[in-house]
Structure formats: structure tokens, C-alpha cells
Structure 1
């Protein structure tokens, strides 16, 4: 019982720590994810301890990782869909359900025997405990549906990004939890093992979703196509191409007219605004092979596909940066509109092209206007 109590206390401490940090920030989605990640991780460990120690613990009175997930997953989705900072009043309101479970836990722990003497209080607490999870899950799920409807156009444009993917996964999983808990009403009273396994599965899936979308997927390309690796590869490719095509300059010169055609295509159709636009798509638009396109980019444009396309995206962002200043729009929203799939890729290529971070660039632009 001791390790379980220690971990439950840890959930409260970790939640409170990151909650206080989140209140101080305007861009606070990372702190929200850490709240969900650490609380669910500690919740997972605490339930594993119960499983292997066969401790008799009343889950209904424990700290609810499910409530913490549902409320803060809703806030995360709201932030990602709307691209607006979460207000402090929203953070405080959506933290109350989790803190309320902590209060019930402390009451049950400290006054367990005393509560039995007050039947009215005991019944009120039981009613709260047995229905509160379902109510919060249902409210958060309905709120998620509202967000999807309201911001559907924005979501569609960025459907392939990791942040949207994680937010949509949270919504789907919230629906799954609602379904499970609603189904369990048919099997009253709650089965102890059912609640235990549901808690284990919930915590595990949430942790895996966050790790995949926040840490694994954004850096998956870095195994072979990080900016630094791409630069080294492009350098090696240029050297190889120079050796390979130095005896075939006639073919290279024959492809030169396509350089103007590529630039014209970028100006008229702006295919780079599509985050999924690929090397093969550009080759197909020009009716040439991927190999010939590589020759043009490497030998006639001194670039590679990723550098060229992302430079066009940076140029588009700069051309429309006045909207951020004049219309108080979000930097990331315009970055996604420009065709970038992640904040890290946008920042790296922006600095590569301009020598400044997006924030520094915008501050300089504001100072010139004023």
C-alpha cells in the first residue's frame, strides 16, 4: 500500500508543478502534454503495483488519470485547432476535476472510518465518485466534437501534421473511453479487475500516443533526412554528380530550359503549399523522370528538392508575414499554411534562409513599421 500512496501523491505533486508552470506561459501546449504524460505514467506504475501486489484499493476513490487526460486533452485540442493560447481561467476551470479527485482521495484516506457514521455524506461522496468520471468524459467528448466542427477547415489543411494527429487521436480515444464506461453500466457493480485493466490500458495507450506523435514521429525523418544530414548528402550528391555528369554536359544543357519552367510552376500553382508535395510530384508535373529532376536541381540550381521547396515556403511566409503583424495572427498557423509540417522544420529552414529566427524577423518588421 505504501508504494501506491507514494505514487498517488507523486501524481498530485507533478500535476501541481506543471500546472503552475503552464499558468505562466502563453504558448503552453508542451506543458499540457507533460501534465498528461507524467500523470498517466505515474498512474500506470501505481496500477501495476496494485496488480502485482494484489492490494485491495478502491479505484473509485483514487486519483483519476482518466479525468486528468480527458480535461487536458480537450485543452490541448482546443489550442492546436484554434492556434490560440489557452487562457488562465480555462486552465484553472479544467484542472478542478482532477483536484477534486485528489480531495476525495485525501478524505477517504484520512477519514475513512469517520465517514461511515455520516450516511448522508457517505452517499453524497459515493454518488459523486461513481458518476463524476462518466460526466467529465461525456462533457469533454461533446466539447471535442464542437471543436472539430468549428475548426474543421483549419484541421483539414493541417491534417498530416503531428500536432493535429495527436489531437485527433486524443478525441478518438476519449470516444473509446466513453464507450467502455457506458458499456460497463450494464454490468453493475463494477468488476474490480475490469477497472484495473481499463486503467492499465488507458494509461499505456495515452503515454504511447504522446511519445509517438511528440517525440518519435517528428524526428523519424532525422534518421536519414535531417537538415544536417540532408546538407551532407546534398554535398556528397553534388560531388558524385559532378564526376558522373562532367562527360555528359550536353544532357545537362538540354535540361536547362526546365529551370525557368520550374520557377514558373512555383509562381503560378504554388504546389509547395501542399505539405505532402514530393520529389516525384514535381517530376510528374514537368513530365520528366525523377533522375532528370535530380540533375536539374543538383547541377543547374545548386540545391536539392527539400532545400528548394522549403526555401519557397519560407519566401511565401515572408511575403505574408504582414498578416501576423496587422491581423494579430499566429506564427505557426501561417507556417502550416506555407506548407511546413512541423515547427522544428519551419524554424530550421527559416533560419537557414534568413539568418534569423521567425520571432527575430517579426520583431524587426514591427520596429520598421512603427
Structure 2
């Protein structure tokens, strides 16, 4: 039991550190914070049961699954829709957590006085299973609803993390189903389930802490301003050649919509034009007074604006259309949109809808 105790304590420490790191992340991380907080409560309840010498009641301790399952579904929904959850939605998702906490509090009160705990223990176990399978059903609904934009959304780390949560829940549900047929192995499944909590903690740390880290010398090239044209002024540039390449680029973008490829790089465009990457930089910096990323993302914004009525007519989300326009992340899209129009996407959409209503009236 000592190794298991050390395992719980180490998980507890890592979870607290992860929560502290996530506090400074974007708004969507508040869901992850609640999930990890639920995990901390679960670890503390198990730690309490072990310290009190009540190992036989481990299954009655607070199950972090009732917190992780619904909030992971909510996280996936936000990642696919590009919208943040309201506090009301978060409160509704917290109902299973609060109910499970009440059952554990009843156990803490009933156990010392020798009160009957058999029925609440059964309720705790089955309630956990109901929450888990309901969450998986909702995940299936989300994947079906956003099936048309899922492939592009999968390029974003938030969606990748949301899908990882689904895999985690499938793993847990498989263990719980097996436990019905092998009741003598209940504690084995409990320990395996606890190890899966380590997996989900590792996923959060990887996707939201390690992967989000960017050293200063490895900044996203899309955030790099256009290079100064001074360094190219000493080059012998044929203006006719320069204009021809500008026309070729415009033609490629107009006919083939290359900018819709989220993985498009300057080297890819240089290969299509049969010139070096350095020559392409000269065309952009000296001939267009911009850089590759600024040019491509501006075209993506224009494509988004040309198709913005799909958000209204086809009930498509802003983020879904942004992905279709070639953007890989919500932050990059918002940055270039505001840079181009001076408004956030949601603000612009409101103005656009008001304009349409005014025209119709």
C-alpha cells in the first residue's frame, strides 16, 4: 500500500502544479482547471480513506470520473465550435461532481457511527458509470455534428486534446464493463483506472503546457513582421521579372486557392513558381511590401468575408469557417482579422447581420 500511497501523493503534487500553470492560459483552460481540480478532490478522498485504514472502502471514495467525463465533453464542444462555455453551462456540468461529493460526505458522516453505507456505495459506483457512458454518447453526437469540419479542426491542439479525452473515456468504460464480469478483480480495475488519471494529467501537461511553450528564438513565423526591404535594394532586380512573378502568384491564388491549404509554406509556393525561397522573399518584400505569411493570411481573411453568409444561412460557426479558410488556430485568425478590419470576428458578424436586416427592411 505504501507504493500506492506515494503514487497518489506524486499525482496530487503534479496536478496542483498543472493547475497553477493553467491559471494563466486562455479562457478555455478554465474547463481543464475544473477537471484537474476534480482529480485533486478524488486523490484527496482516496488518500483520506487509505490513511484511515479503510482500504476496503476505496471504491466509495470520490470518483474524479464524474468531473473529468462531462467537462472533457464540454472542452471538446468548445474546441469544435470555437465558443467558450457560459458559467451557467459550467454549473450544469458540475451537477454530477456535486452529487458525488454529497455521497462521499454522507460516507464520512455515516462510517464512524456504523450507519448503513451499502446502498450509497452502490449508487456511487453506478452513478459514475452512467456519467461516463452519457459523456461518451454526447461525444459521439459532437463528432457527428461537426463531422464536416473535423479533419481541419484536428490540426488544432485543443481538438487533438479533446479527442485524446475520448480515447481515455473509452479505455475507462472498457475497464468498468469488464469489472461487471469479474467482480473479484474490482481493486485491479480501480488501480488501472487511477493510472489512467495519470494519462489524462500527462495529456493536459503535454498539450497545454509543454506544447504551448515557445522559446524566444522559435517564434511562430506568422507573428514575424515583414522584413525590411533595405536588405534587397542592393540586389539587381529586373522589374519586368518581378511583375511577372507577382502576376503568377496572383493567378495561382485566384485559380487554385492555394491559401486554403493550412500547411502551405513559402517553400511550396517557391517550388510552384520554379524559383528559390530567397527570390520569393524578394518578390514579397520588395515588390509587394509584405511577407509571405501576411499575404497568405490576408487572402484567407478575404475568403472568410466572401463566405461569411454561410455562418448565418448554414448555421456554421465562425471557427469552422476560419478553418475552411486555411487558418490553423483561432488566435492567428483573430489576430489577422482584427489587423485587417479593426474589429473582432464576432463584432464584425453583428454589424454584418444588422446591415442585412436594414437592407431587407
TM-score (normalizing by structure 2): 0.77
Q: Residue 222 of structure 2 contacts residue 294 of structure 2 at CA under 8 Å; is this kept in 1?
A: no
Over 3 Å counting, the alpha-carbon distance change for 1:220 and 1:48 in structure 2 is farther
Among residues 262, 267, 288, which one is paired with 2:254 in the alignment?
A: 267
Q: Residue 62 of structure 2 contacts residue 104 of structure 2 at CA under 8 Å; is this kept in 1?
A: yes
Q: Distance in 1 between matches of 2:332 and 2:48?
A: 41
Equivalence map 1:108-257=2 (5 Å): 108-114=107-113, 116=115, 118=116, 122-185=117-180, 188-190=183-185, 192=187, 195-196=190-191, 198-199=193-194, 201-218=195-212, 220=214, 224-226=218-220, 230-231=224-225, 234-235=226-227, 238-242=229-233, 246-250=234-238, 253-257=240-244
Q: CA deviation at 1:220?
A: 4.0
Over 3 Å counting, the alpha-carbon distance change for 1:49 and 1:212 in structure 2 is farther
Over 3 Å counting, the alpha-carbon distance change for 1:311 and 1:39 in structure 2 is same
| Mapped pair 1:72 → 2:71 | yes
| Mapped pair 1:334 → 2:321 | yes
Q: Mean Cα displacement is larger for which, 85-94 or 127-136?
A: 85-94
Q: Residue 80 of structure 1 contacts residue 167 of structure 1 at CA under 8 Å; is this kept in 2?
A: yes
Among residues 297, 309, 313, which one is paired with 2:296 in the alignment?
A: 309
Q: Residue 47 of structure 1 contacts residue 196 of structure 1 at CA under 8 Å; is this kept in 2?
A: no
Unaligned runs of 5+ in 2: none
Task: Find the counterpart in structure 2 of residue 34 from structure 1.
Answer: 33
Q: Distance in 1 between matches of 2:216 and 2:340?
A: 20
Query: What SS does the corresponding residue of 2:328 show, helix, strand or coil?
Result: coil
- Superposed CA deviations along residues 6-32 of structure 1, whole A, max 9, x for unmatched, are x9xxx9xx9xxx9xxxxxxxxx85443
Q: CA deviation at 1:217?
A: 3.5
Over 3 Å counting, the alpha-carbon distance change for 1:47 and 1:197 in structure 2 is farther
- Superposed CA deviations along residues 279-334 of structure 1, whole A, max 9, x for unmatched, are 22222332333233222222222222211111111111222234445665432222
Q: Residue 60 of structure 1 contacts residue 130 of structure 1 at CA under 8 Å; is this kept in 2?
A: yes
Q: CA deviation at 1:50?
A: 7.8
Q: Distance in 2 between matches of 1:302 and 1:324?
A: 33
Unaligned runs of 5+ in 1: 19-27
Q: Residue 316 of structure 1 contacts residue 338 of structure 1 at CA under 8 Å; is this kept in 2?
A: yes
Over 3 Å counting, the alpha-carbon distance change for 1:309 and 1:93 in structure 2 is same
Q: Distance in 1 between matches of 2:216 and 2:320?
A: 23
Task: Find the counterpart in structure 1 of residue 278 from structure 2.
Answer: 291
Over 3 Å counting, the alpha-carbon distance change for 1:142 and 1:368 in structure 2 is closer
Q: Residue 227 of structure 2 contacts residue 285 of structure 2 at CA under 8 Å; is this kept in 1?
A: no
| Aligned residue pair count | 338
Task: Find the counterpart in structure 2 of residue 362 from structure 1.
Answer: 349
Q: CA RMSD in A?
A: 3.8
Q: Which has the higher helix share?
A: 1
TM-score (normalizing by structure 1): 0.75
